[in-house]
Each structure stands twice: as C-alpha cells, then as structure tokens.
Chain A
Amino acid sequence: MLIKPIIVLIAFLASLTVFGYRLYGRFEHMRLGQPVGPFARWGDRIKAVVVFVLGQRRLFRFPTPGLAHFFIFWGFLLLFPTIAQAILEGIFPGFVLPILGTFGPLALLQDVIAVIVAVAVLYGLYLRVIAQPERYKGSHGAEGILVLTFILIIMLSLLLMNGLRRNLGEAPIEAAFWQPVSTAVGSLFVGLNEAMQRALYEVFYWVHLGVLLVFLTLLPGGKHFHIVTSVFNVFLQNLEARGKLPPAPQFGGVAGVSKVEQFTWRRMLDWYTCTECGRCQEVCPAYASGLPLSPKLLVMGLRAHLFERGTALQGARKNASLQAVLEKRLTGDVIADQVLWACTTCYACDQECPLFIEHIPPIVDMRRYLLTQQRADAMLMSALGNLRRYGNSFGKSDRQRAMWTGGLEPRIKDIRKEPAHTLWFVGDYASYSPALTEITQATARVFRQAGIDFGLLYDAERNAGNDARRVGEEGLFELLAAKNKAALDKCQYEEIVTTDPHSYNTLKHEYSFNGKARPVYHHTEVLDRAIASGRLPIRRQLGYTVTYHDPCYLGRYNGVYDAPRRVLNAIGCRVVEMPRNRDRSLCCGAGGGRIWMEEAGVKERPAENRIREALSLDGAQYFVVACPKDVTMYRDAVKTVGQERIIEIKDIIELVEEAL
C-alpha cells in the first residue's frame, strides 16, 4: 500500500529538483548581469501588479485572446489548491486540504472555471493550429501547442477525477450541487462497477499528476517561465517617464553594450518573461515595412544568447563548440546591425507588451556600441557630422536658423535680449526645411492672435538632441543639450512651447535644469488652453471631416491625446478615428534617427501604410498632423500612394488659422 505514496513522493521530488536545478541555472546566468536598483515606490508597484497581473489589463488590447488568457490565468490561480490537493493526497492517502478542500463555493467556482479554461485552451489551439496569426511567426509554436494540450489534459483529468471520486463516495464535498460539472462528468461512468471506476480514477490521477509534474520541469526552459517571473517583472517595471532613456553604460571606456553580460540583470529578467505572444511584433512599424526588426525576435534572440553564453562561460573545459559560442559577437552575429538600425523608437512595442518588457533601451544600448565602431550607414554618419558641426542635421549655418522669420512684422522677440512669457523652441525641421516655412510662419501668426507673449532663441537654438540620443550618440546629445541649456539659462521665461514632439519629449524629460525647470508644452496644449479660455476666438466653424494622426512622441510617450482633438472640435472639424489611433497610432517611420538613414530594405513605408489606413475611412478630407516630421513624411507618402486629390495633409495649425 505504500507503493503509490512513495512513487508520488519520488516523482514530486524529482520534478521539483529538475525545476529547481533549471531555475537555479537561469538565476546564475542572470547574475552575470550588471547591478541595478534599488527599486522604490512600492505602492505604485503593488498597484501595477494588481491592475496588470491580476487584472490582466494590457491583454485585453487584443480582446478575444485577452479574454481567453484572463480565464486561463485566473483558472490557474483558483485551481492551484486542487494541484496541491492532488500531490498531497498522493503522498498522504486520504488527505484533504483543510478549508480550501472543503469549501463549497470554491469548489463550484473551480468546477465552472475548469470548463471555461478548457474552452479558452481550445480557442488557443485554434489560433495556433488553424488561424496562425502573423504575430506568432518566429515563436516556438510546438511548445505553445504542447503546453495548451497539457492544460487541457489537466482540466479534463481533474473533472474526470472529481466525477469518479464522487461516484465512489469519496468526494470531499458532500453536496453534489457544489460540483455540477464534475458530477455530470462522473455520471458518464455510473454504469461501470466499482473496481473499474477506481482503476479509471487511478489512471486519470496519474495522467493529471504526470502532466503537472512534467509541466513544472518545463517552466524555466521556455516561454512559460513567465508563469514564475511575470509578477516580478511587472513589480520591478521601469517607473520613470517613458520619454526618459536610462543613463548610458560604459565598459572599459567604450560606450554601449557589446556583450550580453553588460546588460543589467533586470534587463535579463525581461527576456525570461517574454511569452513570445508577438503583440509587439504586430504593432512594430519597422516589421510592417519589411525591415528585419521584430521586437519579439530580438528579445527571444537575446534570451537564447544569454543561455548559450552563460553556459559556455560556466563550462569547465572550453571545448571547440563552447569557444565558438564565446566568440559570437552580440552585435553582428546574434543581432544583426540592420535589425538595430531599423527601430524608430516609436514605443509601440513597449506600450503593447502585457508584461512591461522594454525593447527600446537595449536597442539604444547596442546602437551606442555600433556607433563607436562606425557601423552605421554613411548618410547617418554624415547627419551626425552636421549635427556636431552646425547644431542641425541639415548642414546649414546656425545663422540661417531664423531665416523663416523674414517678412514677419513686427519682428518676433529675441528672448535672449528681452524676457517673454513663452519661449518658443522651434526645432530643426520647422526652422530649416523650406517646405515647412509657411507652417512655421502660420504658427507665429496664430500665437500672436492668441495673445501669447513669445520669443525665440534665434541663432542660439540647437537641435534638442532627442534623436541623436536615440541613435546612440550620447556624447552628441550632451553637447547639444549643454549648448541649449547655456542659452536657456540666460533667458527669462515662464514656459517652453514647441511644435516638435521630439524636442518636447527631451526638453521635458531629459534636460536637467537644476531646479529652474519650467513647464514644457506642445503647441496643441497651448492652443487648447487659449481656445477654452476665449483668448483665441474662433470665428469660423470649418465643417471639415478630418482624421488625426497621433505623433509617437506626443501621444504614446507623453499621453497628449485629447488636447489636439479638442482643438479640432473647437474649430468645427469632425474627427473620425483611424482604426489605429491614440496609443495604437502607427509611427510615420522618421523617428529614432531613421529620417537620417538610407531606406534600403523598406518594402512599404510606414507612412504609406498609414495613408492607406486613412483612405479606408469614410470621407476624411484631411489627414491632420501635429509634428513637422509628420508633415514631411506624409506629404511624400500621399504622393507615392497617388491619392493627393482625395486626402490632403494638413498641419493642425493650418486649420486653426483658417478658423480665425
């Protein structure tokens, strides 16, 4: 009679040992990483776990799979007592879990949820086997199917066990109505004699236990490790402002990351938590345009490399194959250069990831290293050379920065010489691009009509450095920021306004003003205020039907979605939303320094993809943008798509001026 308990115990211990061993192995690899911490703001962190883990909030961005996973997750939690019950009753025959094992309402919940989980799993299998959505491309499909099958078996075997046990009179809960499903399942076997039923019970028990214990050993090896790490990953998430990149690491005087152990252990935890769900890949504009970047594959690649390199580093004898692994270069062999350069830093991936895995910071870290090795295309290096020498990416003289003001009467205040309430930081594109001069001038006129007391830095302004930083030239960013700060320090103003979301982002989050910081606004926020307060009277209601494109650095990065829409409504425009709006807005493709890079490998420009999306809307006459680079990118795209007569690109300021 002791045989079964001994076998169960051995099996359980064996499984636990394998799980523990593999878990420890992963932990040891993580210890290769750089230190980081401490982690403060526990209150916010606990809240995040409640909302995003217990609440599964981000998962619902893909509604049906989200719902399915919600139930699988909660099913797992609610059914955990039954797992404990199964193991313990195997070792201690007749054991019943106190309270949880006999609580009727819980049993009812468990019964029902087991069915729901089974249905959810069938849906999951349907997705994997039949529907095969694009986002799964590159994920470990076999593992996914295996685990779903495991879960299904666990659910079904549980119900069968419960049902048979009831038939045998050994159900821990007396009243059958607390376990309606189990009872129904059990009723299928009522015709069999007791010995048969007991034998079947044993079979289902071993199936149940066996699959559970095998599943446990698999956890640390693949994407289901997230079952263990997800709570930690969400708890330890980056709580800094999104638009603030972490500081740049340096190793042996060389900037950036060139070896996987130069990442922090926290970054490695991110990779262990990746479920390969592909939602990041789904929303990535680079991936959609045919470039080789997939945020998901990036993370999976880093994870696999950490494992192989960690193993090789620990190998006692360095045989040839271990040596080959050690010689693999992180950038170049593991992650190709073009993958890293393809990123526009639009934040769609980091926004979408249900477990708060960050994709952009490691990309920037690796870019920093690539630049020290001059592994970037000639056009980018030329743009960086221009930024360093002239303070703008156009290679034009700094004295020409304010040429767009020519002809504006009266002359705009020079804020270096006299104080003004608002410092208007114009930005490179709005200042230097000939195609944008009119829009910049219109902005000045609208500001005047709104009674804003504003001034310019004129020649003292330099590129704010947002994209220089994201391209990986940290030193250049610091140089530009230092020059801007030196100019700003000498001026008197109460707030900074810019029309450029990139400048907005870095001025707001990455410039340290040592206590003299002033608020930074985007011009749509300022217009919104001015219209609402009546200082900017709207004389005409335009009556257009428009669609609004949320710029990445204004929307996703800084949460400014409503102000531009309010402005559009106030001037009498009806806003129809594109399917991908607000934090799902598709990047135009210019960010992350991409506007300075060659376009080799792009099959469909993100901007063209976006225009087609806008064209699919009913009757939108104008595609409204609020970023100078967007104007440039979308005007080009509309021409290439060939629909200039159907939809026209307008900067929001053009419509506002029309309404005055």
Chain B
Amino acid sequence: MLAAGRELADGLGGRLTALLLGHNTQELAATLGAADSVTYVDHAALADFTPDAYQRTIAGMIKEDPPRAVLIGHTSMGMDVACSVGIQLGVPLITSCRTIRVEDGTPRYVSVTCGGKVMVEGEIPGPTCLVTMVPGGYKPEAGRREGAPDPSTWLRTKIYELAPPTELNDLRVSLQRYVEPEAGDVDITRESILVSVGRGIQQQDNLKLAEALAAALGGAVSASRPIVDKGWLPTSRLVGKSGKAVKPRLYLALGISGAPEHMEGVPDCETLIAINTDERAPIFDAARYGAVADVLKLMPVLTEKIKQAKGG
C-alpha cells in the first residue's frame, strides 16, 4: 500500500501520510518511513480493532482534512471500515485494487475481479476517493525504507499525536475475546516444501496421497480454503488471505485454481508448480511450471518416482 501511495503522491506531487491507530503502539510508526509523515491516533478504544471505533476515527480524520485518496488494505479489517466511511462521507469507493498509476496527471486504478479472471481499469475520481488494495501489485520492499530511524529521517517523518474524536464512546461493536488458531502439529510457515491441495483432490480420502507425496519430498501438506472449510484439514494448514502466508522453496499447488485469496498466501515462492485439470486456471499465471493433469493420478506416480530418485 505504501508503495502505491508513494507512486500516487509522487505522480501527483502530493504528500503521503500514513495513518496509524492504536493504543500505546507508537513505535510501529518507525516502520512507516516510506510515507512523508505519520499521523498516530491513540485511544483505549482503539487498542483492538473493532469496526465501529475504527470507522468513526478514520471518517473523522478524513473529514477534517480530505486527501486526494485514502488507501486501505483489502482485509478483514479494512473492508469493515472502507464502505461505511465512503457512504458516511459521500466519497466514492474502489475495491480490489492491485495497482495505481498516474498517467498525464490522472490517477488510474487497476482492479482484479472474478477470481482473478477479469481486470478492470479506470480513473480514480476526485476530489477524494477511497481505494482498498489487494496484495500482488507491488513488492513489499517498495513500501519500505531501509535502516533504523536515525535523526535525519526524523525530520522528514513527523508523528502527530492528535486528540481522538469524542464519539468513541457508546460503541455498538465490542471485542469479547480472541481465539488463537489451533496449535497444529505442523507450522507450515516454517516448511521449505509444501504440497498444497485444493478442490481437485475431490475426496477427503485422497489426502493420504498428498501426505505420502509430502513425506517423500520431506515437506508438509497445506491447503486452500475449500479443504479447510470442509474440515478435512485444520485451519493451521490454510494458505491464503484468511490463513497463513508461506514462503517455501517449493510450493506444489495440486488441484488449486489460484484465486487471489489463496495466492495472497504464497506471494513470493521460489518454485511454484501447479497441477490442475483446467488449463485456464489462474494459477498457471503465477506458477513457474505447470501441467494439465489429474492430480489423483499424478500424486502416487510422482511419489513413487521421487522415492526412486532419492535412492529408495
């Protein structure tokens, strides 16, 4: 997001401000160096994310000093906030945006829809527009600036501490508690080889084929949303937007179509190999190697050959 914001600000000759909300979290501001300044709002009611509190704060900030654009992450938290802020303030909203460019002084957006199959382009309307961003358009490094904050950067990055707006009492949504994800037997974020399964494995029984393949490779089994929703694997194995982000050396996507929500979980894999019976599956655009094949037939054959190759 910061990268997109940087591009927009530079393209339009404006200022990029990062908005940080929380309670006793000012040290996080130091990581937002790509911005020109950081506005930090501290309030007990903002200690944990709740839609109501965050909506009101952000709406209040924007109303006070309307920027050209507000970029919000297209996440479980961001989406709770973006729509209501837009309606409240009468500001247009663009969602699922992947990249922002400035062409001839006009800011333009490119959004992704239909499970990654369709791209939409247009102008970002003025005077103010809300945009939610999905990952994948920029590399994380582009939104960071190097090094620990040193005195010279402090001059560029001022942290404002604003008095929070008063309407943070009488909230209608309150957090009761967090539920940690079940401690799975395997931490997929630590595995360097992942055999990931999706709808293509068809039956729960076929998981054992994936387990065998993972064992032969010395890796672990992970999954996309449909598999976890059915309860075939615990949430700890979920790769994707609502699951974990993984960075293995090898990611074997078996029977996974490659929808953006899943691909968010494996943004930067050294070697991604995709097997799917649908040759138009979006995953083939993200994969390094692929084959149009039936994973149920391929898994046992591949397992056998790998065992042989390893000298089994």
Given a CB threshold of 8 Å, the question of whether A touches B is answered with yes
Which residues of A are interface residues toward B (Cβ below 8 A)?
378-379, 434-435, 598-600, 635-636, 639-640
A639-B296 Cα distance, complex, nearest whole Å: 11
Q: Are B205 and A434 in contact (CB under 8 A)?
A: no
Residue pair A378, B230 in contact (C-beta under 8 Å): yes
Q: Which residues of chain B in 237-278 are interfacial with respect to chain A, using CB atoms and an 8 Å cutoff?
A: 277
CA distance A142 to B285 in the complex (A): 70
Among B205, B292, B296, contact of A599 (Cβ-Cβ < 8 Å) = B205
**Which A residues are in CB contact (< 8 Å) with B297?**
435, 635, 639
User: CB distance B300 to A639 under 8 Å?
Assistant: yes
Q: A378-B230, A434-B277, A639-B300 are in contact. Are A598 and B203 (CB under 8 A)?
A: yes
- Complexed CA–CA distance, A267 and B253 (Å): 52
Task: State whether B294 touches A435 (Cβ < 8 A).
Answer: yes
Q: Which residues of B have CB within 8 Å of A639?
A: 297, 300-301
Residues from chain A with Cβ under 8 Å of B301 in the complex:
639
With a CB–CB cut-off of 8 A, which chain A residues contact B292?
434
Other contacts beyond A598-B204, A639-B297, A640-B300: 15, CB < 8 A: A379-B203, A434-B277, A434-B292, A434-B294, A435-B294, A435-B297, A598-B203, A598-B205, A599-B203, A600-B204, A600-B205, A635-B297, A636-B296, A639-B300, A639-B301
14 A-B Cβ contacts within 8 A? A378-B230, A379-B203, A434-B277, A434-B292, A434-B294, A435-B294, A598-B203, A598-B204, A598-B205, A599-B203, A600-B205, A636-B296, A639-B297, A639-B300
User: Top 7 A-B pairs ranked by shortest CB distance?
Assistant: A599-B205, A434-B277, A435-B294, A639-B300, A434-B294, A598-B203, A598-B204
A379 to B226, CA, bound (A): 12
Which chain B residues have a beta carbon within 8 Å of chain A's beta carbons? 203-205, 230, 277, 292, 294, 296-297, 300-301
What chain A residues lie within 8 Å of B294 (beta carbons)? 434-435
- In the complex, what's the smallest C-beta–C-beta distance from B309 to chain A, in angstroms? 19
Find chain B residues with CB under 8 A from A636 CB: 296
A55 to B294, CA, bound (A): 52
Would you give the shortest CB distance from A603 to chain B, in whole angstroms?
12
Q: How far is the CA of A81 from the CA of B296 in the complex (A)?
A: 67
Q: Which residue of B lies closest to A639 (CB)?
A: B300
In the complex, the chain B residue whose C-beta lies closest to that of A435 is: B294
**How many A-B pairs with Cβ below 8 Å?**
20
Q: Give min CB distance, A89 to chain B, whole Å.
A: 69
CA distance A384 to B287 in the complex (A): 33
Tell me, rounded to whole Å, the shortest Cβ–Cβ distance linking B278 to chain A: 9
Residues of A near B296 (CB, < 8 A) are 636
- The chain B residue sitting closest to A644, CB to CB, is B301
Interfacial chain B residues near A635, Cβ < 8 Å: 297
Select from chain A the residue with minimum beta-carbon distance to B301: A639
B266 CB, min distance to chain A CBs, angstroms: 25
- Chain A residues with Cβ under 8 A from B300's Cβ? 639-640
Cα–Cα distance between A599 and B296 once the two chains are bound (Å): 15
What is the bound-complex CA distance between A600 and B207, given in angstroms? Answer: 13
Cα–Cα, bound, A409→B186 (Å): 53
Give A432's nearest chain B residue, CB to CB: B277
Query: What's the Cα separation between A114 and B300 when bound, in Å?
Result: 62
**Chain B: minimal CB distance from A188 (Å):** 67
Nearest Cβ distance between residue A482 and chain B, in whole angstroms?
Answer: 29
The distance in angstroms between the C-alpha atoms of A599 and B209, with both chains bound, is: 14
Give CA–CA (A600, B208) in the complex, Å. Answer: 13
Provide the residues of chain B in CB contact with A598, threshold 8 Å.
Answer: 203-205
Q: Which residues of B contact A600 (CB under 8 A)?
A: 204-205
Bound: A208/B49 CA distance, A: 91
A636 to B301, CA, bound (A): 11
Nearest CB on A from B233, distance (A): 15
In angstroms, Cα B300 to Cα A599, docked, is: 18
In the complex the two chains form, what is the Cα distance from A378 to B199 in whole Å?
14
Return the chain B residue nearest A636 by Cβ. B296
Residues of the A chain whose Cβ atoms lie less than 8 Å from the Cβ of B204: 598, 600
Interface-centre pick from A378, A379, A434, A600 (highest chain B CB count, 10 A): A434
- Shortest C-beta distance, A598 to chain B (Å), equals 6
- Please report the C-alpha to C-alpha distance between residue A378 and residue B202 in the assembled complex, in whole angstroms: 12
Q: How far is the CA of A434 from the CA of B298 in the complex (A)?
A: 13
Task: Specify which chain B residues have a CB less than 8 angstroms from the CB of A599 in the assembled complex.
Answer: 203, 205
The distance from the CB of A596 to the nearest CB of chain B, in whole angstroms, is: 10
Residue ID in chain A nearest B293 by CB atoms: A434
| Complex Cα spacing A435 to B297, Å | 9
Bound CA–CA A434/B296 (angstroms): 12
C-alpha gap A635/B300 in the complex (Å): 12
Kindly state the separation between the CA atoms of A8 and B154 in the bound complex, as whole angstroms: 120
Residues of B contacting A640 with CB < 8 Å?
300
Distance in angstroms between the alpha carbons of A603 and B296 in the assembled complex: 19
A339 → B minimal CB distance (Å): 20
CA distance A599 to B294 in the complex (A): 19
B297 to chain A, nearest CB (A): 7
Shortest B46–chain A CB gap in Å is 41
> A648 to B301, alpha carbons, bound, how many Å?
16
CA distance A635 to B294 in the complex (A): 13
Give the distance in Å from the alpha carbon of A635 to the alpha carbon of B296 in the complex.
11
A379 contacts across to B, CB distance below 8 A = 203
Distance (whole angstroms) from the CB of A589 to the closest CB of chain B? 13
Shortest Cβ gap from A506 to chain B (Å):
25
Bound-state Cα–Cα, A635 to B203, Å: 17
- Expressed in whole angstroms, the Cα–Cα distance for A25 and B294 within the complex equals 59
Q: In chain A, what residue has the closest Cβ to B204?
A: A598
**A640 CA / B212 CA spacing, docked (Å):** 13
Q: Which residues of chain A are within 8 angstroms of B203 by Cβ–Cβ distance?
A: 379, 598-599
Residues of A within 8 A of B205 (CB): 598-600
- Give the chain B neighbours of A378 by CB distance below 8 A: 230
B198 CB, min distance to chain A CBs, angstroms: 14
A435–B202 Cα gap in the complex (Å)?
15
Task: Looking at the assembled complex, report how far the CB atom of B212 sits from the nearest CB atom of chain A, in whole angstroms.
Answer: 12
The answer for the CA separation of A639 and B302 in the assembled complex, in Å, is 12
Q: Which residues on the A side are within 8 Å of B230 (C-beta)?
A: 378
Q: Nearest-CB distance from A604 to chain B (Å)? A: 13
